[in-house]
Amino acid sequence: MDFVPDNDHPLDPFPHYRRMRESAPVFHDEQSGSWHVFRYDDVQRVLTEHAVFSSRMGGDDPSETGQLFAASLISTDPPRHRQLRSLVTQAFTPRSVDALAPRISTLAAELLDGIASTGTADLIEELAYPLPVIVIAELMGIPAEDRNRFKQWSDVIVSQTRTGTENVDHHATNREMTEYFLAMIEQRRSRPGSDLISNLLAAEIDGQKLSVAELLGFCSLLLVAGNETTTNLIGNAVLCFTEAPGTIERLLAEPSLLPQAIEEVLRYRSPVQSMYRVTATDTTLGGLPIPAGAPLVAWIGSANRDERQFQRPERFDIHRGPIRHLAFGQGIHFCLGAPLARLEARIALTAVLSRLSGLSLAAGTHLERMESTIIYGLKELPVRWQAA
Ligand code: HEM
């Protein structure tokens, strides 16, 4: 059900979004049967009106990943969503996230130690990718030697979500990942620790605990949500900062601007460009009648560039002030990991700006987007700086 915006310019789908906002803000793709939503107000409605726009996408999806996510909170509606979310938030509190700050700083410093003297590196490979993986793996109590398998699994899941296709590799990966997490869950059941999986096993509401399927769904959701998205937020931020003249100097002179600069990156190059829903009832959107059971794609990346909502949306402007972007969604499914993603980005970018002086894209760099229409991020980010 993919609707590929513009195959020729994957890094710049934004002119295409603008055309759609003008000419077909709610677009019915006859071929796939799905509806594509491009304007801010409509995207906001689709994300927040959960009684009309259901998140139960996994329900009829025969793929194993569909089944994995079917049991996780991102694919459930109330009342089950409310129960799952409150179980999970018991284990994933803002306080437990804040407590990670010193460890994240150490990790970022260690990763930069490895490259600071070289003067050139791929920042995705050296920092933006490993940092969130290590953080989520440590949070879940995954042994360090298993981390590389994480990347392979999450890459496969992301490509699967993108193409909707299946092949033997996907099945094998899903099976391998499921077996790994099942073993981990059983191990923590008999020997609980202070990690997230142990906390999830202990969490209960009205005497009810998470089922094994729900625990598995949550582990795989974290694997994808915690890795690719935060990696791309950090990578997209470095791209935005090096692209807009004077930004790095401004941020160095006034570091307190960094959090709002990160919000502007989230708006301008949203790591998650679209989310799926399915209509639970007949409804009307943008003046068009949509029947029950229709698959929808809410284009967050387009909503965040809507000129009806933002002044001069095509301009990257770290002085924009409070930004009501939809990069983390809105409503009951608002990103559970937003505080962690913001914290990791702030720490990683502070380290980059302070240690890699004179940072710029490496000469002759040809940037390529990751092969996904949902996730927006770079395959590689070659940069250079004045080595210490
Ligand atoms: C920049 C980084 C991130 C972005 C842009 C992002 C984006 C999103 C979006 C758009 C949603 C809403 C989905 C919907 O409405 O259907 C979401 C939900 C979610 N995110 Fe994130 N995310 C990020 C990082 C993280 C991290 C680091 C974690 C966990 C470690 C995480 C965990 C989740 C979970 C569990 C949900 C489902 C919440 C629910 O359904 O109630 N995310 N995220």
Q: Whose CA is nearest to atom 24 of ligand 1?
A: 337
In the predicted model, what is the mean pLDDT of the chain?
Answer: 89
304 lines ligand 1 (CB under 6 A): no
Atom of ligand 1 nearest to the CA of 276: 16
pLDDT at residue 1 above 50?
A: no
25 lines ligand 1 (CB under 6 A): no
Selection from 1-5, 57-61, 232-236 with the highest mean pLDDT: 232-236
pLDDT at residue 150 above 80?
A: no
CA atoms of 278 and 226, how far apart (whole Å): 25
pLDDT at 69: 59
Q: Which of 56-70, 123-137, 245-259, 342-356 has the lowest mean pLDDT?
A: 56-70
pLDDT at 270: 98
pLDDT at 106: 98
Question: How much is the average pLDDT of 288-314?
Answer: 97
Atom of ligand 1 nearest to the CA of 300: 10
Taken as a whole, the chain contains a residue count of 388
275 lines ligand 1 (CB under 6 A): yes
Q: Which of 90, 56, 378 is nearest to 243 (CA)?
A: 378
CA atoms of 378 and 11, how far apart (whole Å): 8
Q: Which residues contact 386 (CB under 8 A, 6 or more apart)?
A: 119, 357, 358
What pLDDT band is residue 203 in, cutting at 50, 70 and 90? confident
123 lines ligand 1 (CB under 6 A): no
160 against 237, higher pLDDT: 237
Question: How far is the centre of ligand 1, averaged over its atoms, from the C-alpha of 237 (Å)?
Answer: 18
Share of the chain above pLDDT 70, in %: 90
CA atoms of 377 and 108, how far apart (whole Å): 20
pLDDT at 216: 87
Ligand 1 pocket test, candidate residues 222, 328, 349, most atoms within 8 A of CB: 328
Q: Which of 6-20, 163-177, 196-210, 259-273 has the lowest mean pLDDT?
A: 163-177
Whether the CB-CB separation of 64 and 175 falls below 8 Å is answered with yes
pLDDT at residue 35 above 90?
A: yes
* 312: exposed, middle or buried (Cβ count in 10 Å: 0-12, 13-18, 19+): exposed
pLDDT at 330: 98
pLDDT at residue 350 above 70?
A: yes
Question: How much is the average pLDDT of 345-362?
Answer: 97
In the chain, where the domains are located: 14-384
Ligand 1 pocket test, candidate residues 335, 340, 344, 370, most atoms within 8 A of CB: 335
Q: Whose CA is nearest to atom 9 of ligand 1?
A: 328
pLDDT at 63: 46
pTM of the model: 0.92
pLDDT at residue 248 above 70?
A: yes
Whether the CB-CB separation of 201 and 209 falls below 8 Å is answered with yes
Share of the chain above pLDDT 90, in %: 63
pLDDT at residue 125 above 50?
A: yes
233 lines ligand 1 (CB under 6 A): yes
Rg (CA), the chain: 21
Q: Which residues contact 224 (CB under 8 A, 6 or more apart)?
A: 154, 157, 158
Ligand 1 pocket test, candidate residues 236, 336, 342, 374, most atoms within 8 A of CB: 336
pLDDT at residue 117 above 90?
A: yes
Instruction: Give 320's Cβ-side CA count (13 Å radius).
Output: 25
Question: How much is the average pLDDT of 270-287?
Answer: 96
Q: Which of 217-231, 236-250, 326-340 has the lowest mean pLDDT?
A: 217-231
pLDDT at residue 196 above 70?
A: yes
pLDDT at 165: 44
pLDDT at 207: 84
Q: Which residues contact 171 (CB under 8 A, 6 or more apart)?
A: 64
267 lines ligand 1 (CB under 6 A): no
Q: Whose CA is nearest to atom 28 of ligand 1?
A: 337
336 lines ligand 1 (CB under 6 A): yes
301 lines ligand 1 (CB under 6 A): no
CA atoms of 320 and 260, how far apart (whole Å): 8
- Any idea which architecture 14-384 has in CATH? Orthogonal Bundle (1.10)
What pLDDT band is residue 161 in, cutting at 50, 70 and 90? very low
Atom of ligand 1 nearest to the CA of 332: 41
Q: Whose CA is nearest to atom 20 of ligand 1?
A: 335
Question: How far is the centre of ligand 1, averaged over its atoms, from the C-alpha of 327 (Å)?
Answer: 9
